[in-house]
Amino acid sequence: YFFCSTDSVEAGFFLCAYEFAIQKLNSPWCQLFDEVDAQVMEYAGDLKQYWKRSYGHEINSKSSCILFHDLFHRLDQVVAEITKNSDAIVSEAVTVQVGHAETLLPLLTLLDLFKDDIPLSSTNFATQHNRIFRSGNIVPYAANLLVVLYKCPEGIRMGVRLNEKSLTLPGLTDPVPMYEDVKTRYSTLLKGCDQETVCKINS
């Protein structure tokens, strides 16, 4: 055996993972790792995402304040049009915004999704096997977030799907809650979360 740096081990693992994910090949690189190795490497990746783009530091999620406000501004516009004239065709039926996992993860964090009771750290791998925060599941290849408004007899409802799977927003029990209930849930962010304040955050 020869000395392997952490970077070399990570490179070998990613070569294995990429070839399997993209080409469905059981690469020779995969023979270097057993199941526990894979779990450790997955956790290392989750730690990186957690501390750089998610719950590790407050500013990580707050970097999505502008995107958060833009989303609700567009939703408010549609709701206003429907409320004004229920038979009218909305002026902007679909908005498509393209980004990366690094764009999506802070927004999901701002929405309080996939938050574990105990923060992820380098010292608690053994107790985090059942963690909610798994970046490979949250923001895999072609990750996508869909927010939909539904005009229902009782009012406007909102549905959220992440990677084609329905999500129930934290603090709400209905997977397709009333839009006003969603706004109440995130009222603190809707009233604040301004970029000037965010830029003054130290952590």
Q: What is the DSSP letter of 125?
A: G
pLDDT, tens digit, 9 for 90 and up, residues 12-32:
999 999 999 889 888 999 999
Percent of the chain at pLDDT above 70? 98
Total Cβ atoms within 10 A of residue 166: 11
Length of the chain in residues, anyone? 203
> Quick one: pLDDT at residue 4?
83
Average pLDDT over residues 166-193: 96
> Quick one: pLDDT at residue 155?
94
Query: Is residue 47 within 8 Å of 128, Cβ to Cβ?
Result: no
Distances (CA, A) of 93 to 8, 136, 149, 170, 180: 48, 31, 10, 26, 20
pLDDT at 203 over 70: no
Sign, Cα dihedral of 32, 37, 42, 48: negative
Distance, CA of 117 to CA of 96 (rounded, Å): 33
> Quick one: pLDDT at residue 167?
96
The beta strands (E) that lie in 87-191 are given as 145-152, 155-162, 165-167
Average pLDDT, the chain: 93
pLDDT, tens digit, 9 for 90 and up, residues 126-165:
999 999 999 999 999 899 999 999 999 999 999 999 999 9
- Tell me the HSE value of 198 on the side-chain side, using a 13 A CA sphere: 16
pLDDT, tens digit, 9 for 90 and up, residues 63-78:
999 999 999 999 999 9
pLDDT, tens digit, 9 for 90 and up, residues 89-124:
888 889 999 999 999 999 999 999 999 999 999 999
Distance, CA of 50 to CA of 115 (rounded, Å): 10
Cα dihedral 136/140/143/148 (nearest 10): -40
